[in-house]
A and B are shown apart, each in its own frame.
Chain A
Amino acid sequence: MRATRISLLLLSSFALSFALTSAIAEDSVEFKIKAGFLYKFPQFVDWPPEAFGGAKAPLIIGVLGDDPFGDVLDKTVRDREVEGRKVVVRRYKSAQSAREAHVLYIGLSGEQLASSIKALEGAPVLTVGENSAFNKDGGAVRFVVRDDRVAFNINPEAAKRAGLKIRAQLLKLARIVDDQGE
């Protein structure tokens, strides 16, 4: 009986590991695209001038919480520039410190997510996340998968509160949602 259970466990773990590897392979493509999006969003978003320390100040793409990108994000933005600014990637432990970022990927969920977004209030940060409650919690851009493609929902109100202007072109590509995430 016990042996059966162990063997079953083994079998299931084997199957699981199989499923996991394929999931990781899919994930890496998906996150490559998402990393590209993170780098491309700034091209269609206007920050207030005070968001940058100076004309040569870098554009900061930040990651808060779980980092699903690994080195993919770093590779994507390496040697890239947006409107003459160098693009850098920074990882933050707290929302408070992440207020300096321009684009912030938040890998959190639940209470942590809500409090982090609250802590970023008033900072010119374009928040990006994947949690189903992300828009509802006040996040601006949420990655979704539609028709097997990486797409995004945008809450223009949230962006507006952060003092950001999202260009119509970008809005056209997104599903527009309100504070209820609808």
Chain B
Amino acid sequence: MSMKRLRDLSIKWKMVFTITVVSMVALLVAGVLLFSYEYSAVHSMMEHDVEAIANLSAANSTAALSFDDPKAAEDTLSAMAAKPAIELACLYDNEGRVFAAYYRNGQKEQLPEHPGPDGFDRNSRKLSLFSPVKIKSKRIGTLYVQSDLSQLTDWLKAYAAVSGGIVLMNAALAFVLASVLQRPFLAPIVGLAVTARKVSTNKDYTLRGEKQGDDELGFLVDQFNEMLAQIQERDKALEEARLELEQRVEARTRDLKEANKELEAFSYSVAHDLRAPLRGIDGFSQVMLEDYGTQLDATGQDYLQRIRKATQRMAQLLDDMLNLSKVTRVNITLKEVDLADIAKSIIEDLRRHDAKREVEFIVGKDLCVKGDAGLLRIVLENLLGNAWKFTGKQPQARIELGMTQIDGKDTYFVRDNGAGFDMTYASKLFGVFHRLHSAADFPGTGVGLATVQRIINRHGGNIRAEATVGKGATFYFTLPG
């Protein structure tokens, strides 16, 4: 099982798994320790057995060896048959010659040619012992006894089977017990998890975890419930605040719309109503100049001319104001519009109007946008008109209309190399009646850019300007359509 899958296991199975593994490991360790102890005990017991038999046989063989009676010695050795583990035994005389031998099941096996040093042969894979044969302290020969380890291997097998069975049984028992006993620990946690999931999926903060005891888990459930209560309360407060805010915004919007409407109606009627008397003043001034001009001296005629110019300027101002209010009121009808076409016709008009000037126009490609044709014409009229106007003192005037990508958005621009303006005042550029140049230098009403901004905004776009005094200005605008 991979670590990842282990991590994703439910806490219940983690706990059951852990307990089972821990108990198995503990048992295995105990088993191994016990095994190693038992192994050495059994081994030394077997050595002891072989030693005892060897000592007995050695003692019983002394006479046979003394009186040179191999038959009698073989008789003595054949008593080894009582111990089936003993494979072979052999008696050497003092010269190291084989005197008598015993083979289990009569099968002849390789005898050590000469007796080795007394004691167990640690190099042998079996249990092999060289034991001295003595009469009192006098040595008369050597007895060799070799035992197989079948007893040990049998014991090993039995031990492995029994301990394997115990470990497996223990694992099963641990598994069952852990599965049963985990409940008091985990039921509150699982309950909490279920509640938490319900809360987060249903967004229902009225739910509460069930407390089952006064332990740490109970405390956790309490804290969880407390948190839910707090969230619920905060939600309620938030909802109330939101409702109140909504009502307030609604009221404000209503007020504002009303005020705006009134204001627009007012400015429209003012502009409209002011036009009539203005037309009177201009008309009568013209009549007076034509019919009674001869009766006035040059100064009188000049005054009348000034009156006419002022009224005409005021009429223009009123027209612009009406335009501005119209821009905010008319419905926008979106259509495919080619800005290049509009620009070309505007430029033609401007040239016809002021045929003396030499201005270079550059109109880019791909200038098709979605917008209201009439309103966009007003935009271009203003921007191109401004550019025309502010390049008036530039002998090599150049005006450019194009499109570029800024921050991944299609951005249109009108660029000129005219008077430019100080960027400090850029924020005031689009305000109504704000003019950065004197009327004497560049004539204008200060309403145009405000109108432009309003139109662009109504199309969901933005407009801004960049300029350097004496080097020209660029107006960037977007039209999301």
Q: Which residues of A contact B (CB under 8 A)?
A: 33, 37, 40, 43-44, 83, 167, 169-170, 172-173
Closest Cβ of chain B to A103, distance in Å, is 14
Q: Which of B75, B76, B136: most chain A Cβ within 10 A? A: B136
Contact of A172 among B68, B75, B135 (CB under 8 A): B75
Instruction: Establish whether residues B136 and A169, one from each chain, have CB atoms under 8 Å apart when the complex forms.
Output: no
Closest Cβ of chain A to B186, distance in Å, is 77
Instruction: Establish whether residues B66 and A40, one from each chain, have CB atoms under 8 Å apart when the complex forms.
Output: yes
Q: Which residues of B contact A (CB under 8 A)?
A: 60, 62-64, 66-69, 72, 75-76, 135-136
A173-B72 contact in complex given A37-B67, A40-B66, C-beta closer than 8 Å = yes
A44-B136 contact in complex given A172-B72, A173-B69, A173-B72, C-beta closer than 8 Å = no
Provide the residues of chain A in CB contact with B62, threshold 8 Å. Answer: 43-44, 169
Rounded to whole angstroms, the CA-CA distance of A83 and B62 in the bound complex is 15
Nearest 5 A/B pairs, CB to CB: A169-B63, A40-B66, A173-B72, A170-B63, A173-B69
Tally of A-B residue pairs with Cβ under 8 A? 29
Provide the residues of chain A in CB contact with B76, threshold 8 Å. Answer: 172
Instruction: Find the A residue at minimum CB distance from B61.
Output: A169
Provide the residues of chain A in CB contact with B135, threshold 8 Å. Answer: 43
Instruction: Establish whether residues A172 and B67, one from each chain, have CB atoms under 8 Å apart when the complex forms.
Output: no
Instruction: Establish whether residues A167 and B67, one from each chain, have CB atoms under 8 Å apart when the complex forms.
Output: no
Closest Cβ of chain B to A164, distance in Å, is 16
Instruction: Find the B residue at minimum CB distance from A83.
Output: B136
Provide the residues of chain A in CB contact with B75, threshold 8 Å. Answer: 172
Given contacts A172-B63, A172-B64, A173-B69, 11 further A-B contacts (CB under 8 A): A33-B68, A40-B66, A43-B66, A43-B136, A44-B63, A169-B62, A169-B63, A170-B63, A172-B75, A173-B67, A173-B72
Instruction: Establish whether residues A173 and B136, one from each chain, have CB atoms under 8 Å apart when the complex forms.
Output: no
Provide the residues of chain A in CB contact with B72, threshold 8 Å. Answer: 172-173
Rounded to whole angstroms, the CA-CA distance of A69 and B92 in the bound complex is 29
Rounded to whole angstroms, the CA-CA distance of A43 and B138 in the bound complex is 11
Provide the residues of chain B in CB contact with A83, threshold 8 Å. Answer: 136
Closest Cβ of chain B to A140, distance in Å, is 16
Closest Cβ of chain A to B67, distance in Å, is 5
Closest Cβ of chain A to B352, distance in Å, is 155
Provide the residues of chain B in CB contact with A167, threshold 8 Å. Answer: 63
Closest Cβ of chain A to B396, distance in Å, is 145
Could you jot down 10 A-B contacts, CB within 8 Å?
Answer: A43-B66, A44-B66, A167-B63, A169-B60, A169-B63, A172-B63, A172-B76, A173-B63, A173-B64, A173-B72
Closest Cβ of chain A to B141, distance in Å, is 14
Provide the residues of chain A in CB contact with B63, threshold 8 Å. Answer: 44, 167, 169-170, 172-173
Instruction: Find the B residue at minimum CB distance from A172.
Output: B72
Rounded to whole angstroms, the CA-CA distance of A40 and B136 in the bound complex is 13
Closest Cβ of chain A to B275, distance in Å, is 159
Closest Cβ of chain A to B174, distance in Å, is 61
Rounded to whole angstroms, the CA-CA distance of A40 and B64 in the bound complex is 11
Instruction: Find the B residue at minimum CB distance from A33.
Output: B68
Provide the residues of chain B in CB contact with A169, threshold 8 Å. Answer: 60, 62-64
Rounded to whole angstroms, the CA-CA distance of A50 and B136 in the bound complex is 21
Provide the residues of chain B in CB contact with A173, threshold 8 Å. Answer: 63-64, 67, 69, 72
Instruction: Find the B residue at minimum CB distance from A37.
Output: B67
Provide the residues of chain B in CB contact with A170, threshold 8 Å. Answer: 63, 67
Closest Cβ of chain B to A151, distance in Å, is 8
Rounded to whole angstroms, the CA-CA distance of A172 and B61 in the bound complex is 10
Rounded to whole angstroms, the CA-CA distance of A172 and B72 in the bound complex is 7
Closest Cβ of chain A to B99, distance in Å, is 14
Rounded to whole angstroms, the CA-CA distance of A44 and B66 in the bound complex is 10
Instruction: Find the A residue at minimum CB distance from B72.
Output: A173
Provide the residues of chain A in CB contact with B67, threshold 8 Å. Answer: 37, 40, 170, 173
Closest Cβ of chain B to A72, distance in Å, is 16
Rounded to whole angstroms, the CA-CA distance of A37 and B67 in the bound complex is 7
Rounded to whole angstroms, the CA-CA distance of A139 and B136 in the bound complex is 28
Instruction: Find the B residue at minimum CB distance from A167.
Output: B63
Provide the residues of chain B in CB contact with A44, threshold 8 Å. Answer: 62-63, 66
Provide the residues of chain B in CB contact with A37, threshold 8 Å. Answer: 67
Rounded to whole angstroms, the CA-CA distance of A11 and B274 in the bound complex is 196
